[in-house]
Amino acid sequence: MTRVIELYDSTLRDGEQAEGISFTLEDKLRIARLLDDFGIHYIEGGWPGSNPKAVDFFKAARRLSLKHARLAAFGSTRRKGIKAEDDTNLRLLVDSHAPVTTIFGKTWDLHVTDALRASLDENLRMIADSVRFLKSKRRMVVYDAEHFFDGYKANPDYALKTLEAAAEAGAERIVLCDTNGGTMPTDIPAILEAVRKRVGAPLGIHTHNDAGMAVANAIMAVASGATHVQGTINGIGERTGNCDLVQVIPNLALKYGLKTVKESALRGLTTLAHQVAELANIVPDPRQPYVGRSNFAHKGGIHVSAIMRNPRCYEHVEPESVGNQRRVLVSDQSGKSNLVYKIAERGIEDFDADSPEALELLDRIKNLENEGYQFEAAEASVEVMLAKLLKRMKSRFQLHGWRVIVERRDNDKEPISEATVRLDVEGEHVHAAALGDGPVNALDRALRRALAAKHPEIAKVQLADYKVRIIDAEAGTAAKIRVLINSTDGQESWGTVGVSENIIEASWRALVDSLEYKMMKDEEKRRRSRRSGGKAANPRSKSS
């Protein structure tokens, strides 16, 4: 029978302890819904005794109607010198109405004597009394043994006695915490074996990433008998972070064949990771295992040639199994296989990889990258270039000239930027001007204004990101500038690039590619719609 591993998510508490991260109440409720839909077993909502927002969360969470997960309220054991029923923290855990209560207690004798200033025996009573009180209130109790691995190394017998105190008092889960994050994976098996000889309750693992070992330690703990894993989405947490459940879940499911979430849910892992990142207001890590954009991105020509024959040659799992997608990058490292793959993505079947056009395009890309272009994050620029070379895209406008004026007068709080463009748009001469928040914004507005009458669809295009990179810094103010632009129309996102010694010219080139890409894609959709009898096809999702 397949072993089931419980997933306990602490994003809403441990995750919020990360520097620079703060969730609103609505953020926390949305994340809880996402975790529940994904199939997480336990969601730790916060510490009611630490801040009012946690209390408000548990009140609001009663309306969530969770389908899979059970909510857990977090707190500590009773304070020394008082009864458990008189401890405010424990009372607040009960008042949260969370069906699960997770309490942490001291395991390391150093913390008992120096931090709590209590006797070792008093600490054991604090643990047992707290668990028994919560059990008397019909709560499931998860006991987090804080600093367990450091405590075990310092005084193994006492560390094990603290676990026994919690288990004998009725705790349903005993979780071993690597609170300082310094434990090595090779330490785990022998320590887990010693724990299993003394404690019969199901064991869990809670790791931090200070030594970069949080995920490895969690995996080793499961391999050594743990059945409960705590962590956060994307590994966010205090200091360097917590165990990343986004890595642990597919490792357990796809590498070890253990049951975590449904296979259909696992295919939503990338979406979950990116949604939580968005709510945390952090940029998704492109190199995050399994879900990062670069995970299944292939650049070297030899690699691409191999995956065209069999993707397993250079992919350890299928990208679709975790909701990611395969990408082939076109750059100065590319071979003909990269181009063939990109062209096949566009549905062009009659393309000869040895044709003069293919060789010309490859040479052009390599020459442009030698000049400072970078197409890995600007696939839309490659598609526009390819379409023009293959004469599969008609030119929609020709530039006669543009001008940008930046002016600041005595009474102006900010400089004023004005741009004018002169174009031929499908045979008609157009002159347009616009003001903007800066020179690039003004140029973008003027270009859109000039094209709007013939191409109203570009009104949907918004600038999602704008990056400027100096290519040859030693050239000083005469250095080449690379501008990367990410654009979106609300359904699709794409990236374009421009390079010049002049930042406005580099921006212009990237802007033109962005709008031409949008017009090209919309024309393709109209053609597909006409061929299908008027039913519009779904747009192909593509991120840049």
What is the CATH number for 120? 3.20.20.70
Average pLDDT taken over every residue of the chain: 86
Of 485, 524, 486, 492, whose CA–CA distance to 506 is shortest?
A: 485
The per-residue pLDDT for range 390-445, each reduced to its tens digit, is 777 777 788 999 999 999 887 778 899 999 999 999 889 999 999 998 999 999 99
Based on the structure, what is the number of domains in the chain?
3
Q: What is the mean pLDDT of residues 213-236?
A: 97
Confidence check: pLDDT of 537 > 50:
no
* 496 sits in which H/E element: strand 493-500
Please provide residue 100's backbone torsions phi and psi, each rounded to the nearest 5 degrees: -120, 135
Q: Domain for residue 527, yes or no?
A: yes
Residues 376 and 519 in one domain: no
The per-residue pLDDT for range 5-18, each reduced to its tens digit, is 999 999 999 999 99
The SS3 of residue 290 is coil
Residues 419 and 380 in one domain: no
CA pair distance 510, 483, nearest whole angstrom:
7
Confidence check: pLDDT of 77 > 90:
yes
Residues 383 and 409 in one domain: no
> What pLDDT does residue 384 have?
86
CA pair distance 468, 465, nearest whole angstrom:
10
Cα angle for residues 491, 492, 495 (degrees, 5° grid):
150
Q: Domain for residue 272, yes or no?
A: no
Q: Domain for residue 277, yes or no?
A: no
Q: What is the mean pLDDT of residues 307-320?
A: 76
Q: Domain for residue 283, yes or no?
A: no
Of residues 360 and 149, more confidently modeled: 149
The SS3 of residue 43 is strand
CA pair distance 44, 26, nearest whole angstrom:
16
> What pLDDT does residue 327 have?
67
Residue length of the chain:
544
Residues 138 and 196 in one domain: yes
List, in order, residues 6 or more apart from 86 with CB less than 8 Å away.
none
Residues 431 and 335 in one domain: no
Lowest mean pLDDT among 111-120, 268-277, 319-328, 375-384: 375-384
For residue 464, give the CATH number of its domain: 3.30.160.270
* 177 sits in which H/E element: strand 173-178
* 357 sits in which H/E element: helix 356-371
Confidence check: pLDDT of 119 > 90:
yes
CA pair distance 115, 87, nearest whole angstrom:
19
Residues 154 and 86 in one domain: yes
Lowest mean pLDDT among 23-37, 115-129, 473-487: 473-487
Q: What is the mean pLDDT of residues 487-491?
A: 84
Residues 13 and 141 in one domain: yes
Confidence check: pLDDT of 154 > 90:
yes
b/e code 30-39 from CB counts within 10 Å (16+ = b): bbbbbbbebb
Confidence check: pLDDT of 338 > 80:
no
Beta-carbon count within 10 A of 160 CB: 21
Positive or negative torsion for Cα 351, 353, 354, 360? positive
Q: What is the mean pLDDT of residues 178-202?
A: 96
Of residues 370 and 518, more confidently modeled: 518
Beta-carbon count within 10 A of 224 CB: 17
> What pLDDT does residue 541 have?
39
Q: Domain for residue 462, yes or no?
A: yes
User: What pLDDT band is residue 477 in, cutting at 50, 70 and 90?
Assistant: low
> What pLDDT does residue 143 have?
98
List, in order, residues 6 or more apart from 81 with CB less than 8 Å away.
none
Q: Which domain holds residue 371?
A: 297-389
List, in order, residues 6 or more apart from 278 with CB less than 8 Å away.
none
Residues 325 and 409 in one domain: no
Max mean pLDDT range (146-160, 323-337, 344-358): 146-160
Do 217 and 178 form a contact (C-beta atoms < 8 A)?
yes
Q: Domain for residue 285, yes or no?
A: no
Confidence check: pLDDT of 93 > 90:
yes
Of residues 398 and 226, more confidently modeled: 226
CA pair distance 45, 9, nearest whole angstrom:
9
Max mean pLDDT range (183-192, 314-323, 378-387, 496-505): 183-192
Write out the two tokens for 352: 């000869």
CA pair distance 274, 190, nearest whole angstrom:
37
Residues 10 and 69 in one domain: yes
Please provide residue 56's backbone torsions phi and psi, each rounded to the nearest 5 degrees: -65, -35
Pairing, β 70-76 against β 481-488: unpaired
Of 377, 194, 257, whose CA–CA distance to 3 is shortest?
A: 257
Confidence check: pLDDT of 544 > 50:
no
b/e code 446-472 from CB counts within 10 Å (16+ = b): bbbbbbeeebebbeebeeeebeeeebe
Q: Domain for residue 287, yes or no?
A: no
Lowest mean pLDDT among 33-37, 157-161, 503-507, 525-529: 525-529
Q: What is the mean pLDDT of residues 356-360?
A: 72
* Beta strands per DSSP E along 179-321: 203-207, 228-231, 297-298
Confidence check: pLDDT of 200 > 70:
yes
Confidence check: pLDDT of 471 > 80:
no
User: What pLDDT band is residue 490 in, cutting at 50, 70 and 90?
Assistant: confident
Confidence check: pLDDT of 335 > 60:
no
Confidence check: pLDDT of 46 > 60:
yes
Residues 96 and 61 in one domain: yes
Confidence check: pLDDT of 538 > 60:
no
CA pair distance 410, 416, nearest whole angstrom:
12
> What pLDDT does residue 464 have?
80
Q: Domain for residue 487, yes or no?
A: yes
Residues 337 and 444 in one domain: no
DSSP state for residue 404 in the 8-state scheme:
E
Beta-carbon count within 10 A of 215 CB: 23
User: What pLDDT band is residue 540 in, cutting at 50, 70 and 90?
Assistant: very low
Confidence check: pLDDT of 298 > 80:
no
For 60-121, give the secondary structure using H, E and C.
HHCCCCCCCCEEEEEEECCCCCCCHHHCHHHHHHHHCCCCEEEEEEECCHHHHHHHHCCCHH
> What pLDDT does residue 330 have?
56
- Examine the fold and report which residue of 330, 359, 389 is the final residue of a domain before the chain moves on: 389
CA pair distance 277, 404, nearest whole angstrom:
37
Percentage of the chain exceeding pLDDT 70: 87
Do 258 and 36 form a contact (C-beta atoms < 8 A)?
no
Q: In Å, how far from its chain's centre is CA 402? A: 39
Of residues 312 and 384, more confidently modeled: 384
User: What pLDDT band is residue 534 in, cutting at 50, 70 and 90?
Assistant: low
* C-alpha distances in Å from residue 118, one per residue of 4, 131, 153, 194, 543: 39, 18, 20, 26, 56
